[in-house]
């Protein structure tokens, strides 16, 4: 048993160490694809767009593997500080926007000016994985990222109008390589995104709650630690939303 765990640990360290070298050819591919996309010839532009789409999906698979390997090796040390929530969400939307557009997802954000006690970079990684999950499992639909005070606690919520997740699967989907079944479709991705979300939440001291049902879409709520001043005035918090 110990030998198996030691081997897994070494494999995770190897993947983390190889991350930079693995990303270089992918970044070159994305550069070449961008050049094709700017071509005056329609056929070249179409080829470039297809390559860009494939490169983004491959890049996400690398991201989730690298995040998982860092978590497995204990290489992530969070820095919990007061962090503007809208800034974190805005950066993630800029990063993942093209992937959502490719999938036909109409995304909007409803965010008040509020600070959370968290690690902004790691919370951004969590949100990135949640939105990638929307792109894969709820394409051509609507999604919203919103924040507010629920029962005196600051909550960041990602909602979609996709096929939803059966109640019996709501805990299982956080396990490695588990994916909710989709009628008539082959599973996509690695089945690690929600695993990384749960483990990052545990590392940050946040709570993740999944609400869903077949045909009712999915709702993932990340319960955060709020800035004390904001926590004392939830009415003021909810009365000042900003949209993106």
When the pLDDT of each residue in the chain is averaged and rounded to a whole number, the result is: 77
The beta strands (E) that lie in the chain are given as 81-84, 106-112, 115-118, 142-150, 153-160, 207-212, 218-226, 241-243
Residue whose structure tokens are 């998982």: 68
Q: Residue 61 has what pLDDT?
A: 76
Between residues 16 and 139, the one the model is more confident about: 139
Q: Are strands 142-150 and 106-112 parallel, antiparallel or unpaired?
A: parallel
Q: Residue 48 has what pLDDT?
A: 77
Q: Residue 227 has what pLDDT?
A: 53
pLDDT band for position 92 (cuts 50, 70, 90)? very high
Between residues 68 and 118, the one the model is more confident about: 118
What does the pLDDT look like over 196-228, one tens digit per residue? 999 999 999 999 999 876 677 889 999 997 654
Which DSSP state fits 148?
E
Residue 242 has pLDDT above 50, yes or no: no
Instruction: Dump the DSSP string for 10-65.
Output: HHHHHHHHTHHHHHHHHHHHHHHHHHHHT-SSHHHHHHHHHHHHHHHHHHHHHHHH
Residue whose structure tokens are 């991705």: 189
What does the pLDDT look like over 103-113, one tens digit per residue? 889 999 998 88
* Mean pLDDT within 66-91: 88
């Amino acid at each position: 048993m110990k030998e198996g765990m030691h081997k897994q640990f070494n494999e995770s360290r190897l993947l983390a160490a190889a991350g930079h070298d693995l990303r270089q050819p992918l970044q070159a591919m994305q550069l070449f694809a961008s050049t094709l996309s700017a071509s005056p010839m329609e056929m070249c532009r179409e080829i470039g767009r297809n390559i860009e789409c494939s490169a983004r999906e491959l890049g996400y698979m690398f991201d989730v593997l690298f995040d998982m390997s860092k978590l497995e090796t204990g290489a992530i040390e969070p820095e919990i500080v007061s962090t503007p929530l809208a800034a974190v969400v805005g950066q993630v939307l800029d990063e993942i926007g093209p992937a959502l557009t490719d999938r036909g997802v109409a995304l909007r954000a409803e965010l008040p000016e509020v600070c959370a006690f968290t690690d902004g970079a790691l919370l951004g990684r969590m949100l990135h994985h949640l939105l990638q999950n929307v792109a894969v499992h709820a394409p051509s639909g609507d999604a919203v990222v919103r924040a507010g005070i629920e029962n005196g606690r600051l909550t960041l919520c990602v909602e979609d109008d996709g096929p939803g997740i059966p109640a019996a699967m709501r805990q299982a989907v956080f396990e490695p390589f588990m994916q909710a079944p989709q009628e008539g479709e082959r599973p996509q991705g690695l089945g690690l995104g929600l695993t990384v979300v749960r483990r990052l939440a545990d590392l940050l001291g946040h709570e993740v709650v999944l609400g869903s049902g077949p045909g009712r879409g999915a709702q993932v709520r990340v319960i955060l630690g709020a800035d004390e001043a904001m926590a004392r005035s939830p009415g003021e918090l909810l009365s000042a939303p900003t949209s993106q």
